[in-house]
Amino acid sequence: MSSPQSILLVEDNPDDVDLTQRAFLRAGVTRPLEVVEDGMDALDYLFGRGAFAYRAQEPLPALVLLDLKLPRLDGHEVLRQIRANPRTRFLPVVILTSSDEEKDLVESYSHGCNSYVRKPVSYTEFVEAARQLGIYWLELNRSPQPGVSG
């Protein structure tokens, strides 16, 4: 039996990583949560390069939760490179950010994000958002297999 596909969280703030892990656990989202701290590591993880070369033949995560303000390579550029690669073009990517700026929202959709979620301020709201994200993206949503053209 294969293990369930993971969720990739791209987040550089350790407090937000901890909050997200606790919110998913409390919301009953049991998929493994993999964490990388910057945009370059996110791309290396997804494309099986560098320190993540061992992942070259591994399945893609079921969902990417992508912060926008990242060191080394920002979330907009990460998203642009994800959409430019046939293997990851249809990978569900949810922008999970504290930014409430309209230009970030527009740019994220311009680069092909599937959803844009502003991080809720309260823990209770964050748990509810994690529950809804888990239900929608991991149970209801269907995505094409990697490498499918269209």
Tell me the pLDDT tens digit for each residue of 86-131: 999 999 999 999 999 999 999 999 999 999 999 988 999 999 998 9
Claim: this prediction has a pTM higher than 0.75: yes
Tell me the pLDDT tens digit for each residue of 9-40: 999 999 999 999 999 999 899 899 999 999 99
Residue 1 confidence (pLDDT): 39
**Which of 126, 76, 118 has its CA nearest to residue 100?**
118
Contacts 24+ apart (CB under 8 A), 41-50: 41/10, 41/72, 42/8, 42/10, 42/66, 42/70, 42/73, 42/78, 43/73, 43/78, 43/81, 43/82, 45/8, 46/8, 46/82, 46/87, 46/88, 46/91, 47/85, 47/87, 47/88
